[in-house]
């Protein structure tokens, strides 16, 4: 089973029930043995074993969860949503930090998390 089919079978987002921009997430980081985007290159047995530890999240919830897992900050879903809108407008980390009331380093972490996330697709 490939990525899109797996997501379709296991969605929508388990956090917010959203159906847009769905992604594969490891429920517990300790069970992650491979990058999510590499799962689909595995043979069937290993792939299914890895996917047993995964769930479907929308991009926004995935960013939020990853940020919390990384201990960066407790940021609300609304803040993540706002961040995406501001990011689309091309705001840099300093202004993003000001808009969200977080430190510049946290804004940078979020930006870096987002570019990493894009690579997952």
Based on the shown chain and the rule CB under 5 A, indicate whether residue 64 belongs to the binding site for Zn ion.
no
Q: Does 80 bind Zn ion (CB under 5 A)?
A: no
Q: Can residue 18 be called a binding residue for Zn ion (CB under 5 A)? A: yes
DSSP string, 40-86: GGS-HHHHHHHHTTEEEEEHHHHHHHHHHHTTS----HHHHHHHHHH
Is 89 within 8 Å of 82 (Cβ atoms)? no
Q: Which stretch binds Zn ion (CB under 5 A): 7-15, 66-74, 80-88, 96-104?
A: 7-15
Report how many residues bind Zn ion under the rule CB under 5 A. 6
Interaction mask 32-61, Zn ion, x per CB under 5 A: --------------------------x--x
| Residue 107 found at the interface with Zn ion (CB under 5 A) | no
Closest CA to 106 of 96, 115, 116: 96
Which positions lie near Zn ion, rule CB under 5 A? 13, 15-16, 18, 58, 61
């Amino acid at each position: 089973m490939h990525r899109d089919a797996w997501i379709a079978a296991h969605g929508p987002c388990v956090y917010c029930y959203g159906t847009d921009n769905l992604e594969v997430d490891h429920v517990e980081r300790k069970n992650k043995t491979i990058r999510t985007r590499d799962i689909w290159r595995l043979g069937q047995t290993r792939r299914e074993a890895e996917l047993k530890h995964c769930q479907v999240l929308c991009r926004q919830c995935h960013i939020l969860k990853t940020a919390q897992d990384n201990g960066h900050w407790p940021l609300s879903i609304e803040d993540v949503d706002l961040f995406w809108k501001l990011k689309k407008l091309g705001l840099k980390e300093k202004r993003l930090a000001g808009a969200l009331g977080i430190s510049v380093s946290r804004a940078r972490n979020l930006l870096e998390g987002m570019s990493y996330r894009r690579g997952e697709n």
